[in-house]
Amino acid sequence: MVDSQQSKGYRVLSMFDRLMDGQGINKKQEALTHQVGEKTIQRDINQIRVYIEKAKLDCYLQYVRTEKVYKLMETNNNRLSKEQVLAIVKILIDSRALIKSEMSDIIDKLISIVVADEQEHMMLNEKHLYIDVHHKKSLLPLIWRISKAIQKKKVITIDYVYEGEDTPTEKILKPIAVMYSESHFYLITEEQDSPIVYRIDRIRHFRELDKRFQIPYTEQFQEEEFRKRMQFMHTGELIHIRFFYKGKSPQTVLERLPTAKLLAQKESEYFFEAEVFGMGIKSWLLSQGATIEVLEPIELREEIIEAIQTMQQNYRYM
């Protein structure tokens, strides 16, 4: 049999490509397919094994006797499993964080990690469930540029469109973090009293200035602690709230408010306190209906009473 360099090259690349895709190589079947002897296929397999070792790939070639095929085995289990990929894809779809084209591309690349014969229909169809965002803006490049400015501690200037306005306002800011919450990406900036939050999709223009800023170590932004106390990305002063929870699952409170502490319990009433930034917490407290009664601060309690009274007015007549 004539084994030209061209046919040999195609054969070896074909086997390597399928191995990398998680498929098995049966020596007898390969010999029949390419019309060469099994010894030739064995030499090809040996060449692939040598290449994998020299290239220091994170895998090795092994013969699986039960299946009578050669397969690539991972040296370290550092690849995502199909179960993990499916979970990540579902989280991304529910997030509605990016425009559809960007999200579709990310999902396709995640699914490509999974072995071809395991890319079941339920996973391939997931991206078609994605609902596009309203702002229709590509945010990935801007998020990257802002993140680089944060890393370099560079002052930035943005043209920002506030809700309900059409004309952008120029802002000179000290960026300290980019965060994601409630279907939006946010820029967190350093201010004297407390951090200020800007929705990234409302930024019209961005420019990094040739000016650095420094924050004393003791005053540096702690993203983890900020997340615990921030509700619906409403900034403001750090406040302490106390309330009764009268629902069936106090775990609801602990999941929503990481800083919450259970102070007392009497039958089906739970007495909690928590630390939060600003009055964004009011939206969540109202959403819990009669299961929550706010005690402190008094200003928050009065605002909730006023909101409830307004709601009653809305439903008084048809």
Q: Give percent above pLDDT 70 in the chain.
A: 84
Q: What is the three-state SS of the chain? A: CCCCHHHHHHHHHHHHHHHHCCCCECHHHHHHHHCCCHHHHHHHHHHHHHHHHHCCCCEEEEEECCCCEEEEEECCCCCCCHHHHHHHHHHHHHHCCCCHHHHHHHHHHHHCCCCHHHCCHHHHCHHHHCCCCCCCCCCHHHHHHHHHHHHHCEEEEEEECCCCCCCCEEEEECEEEEEEECCEEEEEECCCCCCEEEEHHHEEEEEEEEEECCCCHHHCCCHHHHHHHECCCCCCCEEEEEEEECCCCCHHHHHHCCCCEEEEEECCEEEEEEEEECCCHHHHHHHCHHHEEEEECHHHHHHHHHHHHHHHHHCCCC
Are both 57 and 87 inside the same structural domain?
no
Give residue 121's domain range.
Answer: 82-129
Domain count for the chain, please give it: 4
The amino acid present at 261, given as its one-letter code, is K
Q: Does residue 246 lie in a domain region? A: yes
pLDDT at residue 80, rounded to an integer: 75
Q: Does residue 70 lie in a domain region? A: yes
In tens, the pLDDT along 244-254 reads 999 888 888 88
Q: Does residue 227 lie in a domain region? A: no
Q: Does residue 232 lie in a domain region? A: no
For residues 239 and 300, the answer to whether their CB atoms sit within 8 Å is yes
Tokens of 136: 């229709």
Q: Does residue 43 lie in a domain region? A: yes
Q: Does residue 271 lie in a domain region? A: yes
pLDDT at residue 202, rounded to an integer: 93
The helix-helix angle for 100-111 and 82-95 (nearest 10°) equals: 170
Q: What is the CATH classification number for the domain harbouring 36?
A: 1.10.10
pLDDT at residue 216, rounded to an integer: 65
Q: What is the CATH classification number for the domain harbouring 263?
A: 3.30.70
pLDDT at residue 2, rounded to an integer: 47
In tens, the pLDDT along 45-93 reads 999 988 888 887 878 888 998 899 999 887 766 667 777 888 888 888 8
pLDDT over 90 at 314, yes or no: no
Give Cα separations from 197 to 160, 167, 181, 300, 310 (angstroms). Answer: 12, 19, 11, 21, 28
pLDDT at residue 222, rounded to an integer: 67
Q: Out of 101, 129, 157, pick the residue that ends a domain.
A: 129
pLDDT over 60 at 152, yes or no: yes
Work out the mean pLDDT of the chain and round it to a whole number: 84
pLDDT over 80 at 180, yes or no: yes
Are both 9 and 65 inside the same structural domain?
yes
Are both 163 and 123 inside the same structural domain?
no
Q: Out of 171, 194, 221, pick the residue that ends a domain.
A: 221
pLDDT, average across residues 210-226: 71
Tokens 């969540």, located at residue? 284
Tokens 């819990």, located at residue? 288
Burial bucket for residue 201 (CB in 10 Å: 0-12, 13-18, 19+): buried
Q: Give percent above pLDDT 90 in the chain.
A: 37
Half-sphere exposure of 66 (CA within 13 A, CB side): 0
pLDDT at residue 1, rounded to an integer: 46
pLDDT at residue 46, rounded to an integer: 92
Are both 29 and 66 inside the same structural domain?
yes
In tens, the pLDDT along 109-123 reads 888 777 555 555 566
Q: Does residue 198 lie in a domain region? A: yes
Q: Does residue 104 lie in a domain region? A: yes
* Residues in the chain, overall count: 318
In tens, the pLDDT along 6-37 reads 688 889 999 999 998 888 999 999 999 988 99
| Residues near 104 by beta carbon (within 8 Å), at least 6 away in sequence | 127, 130
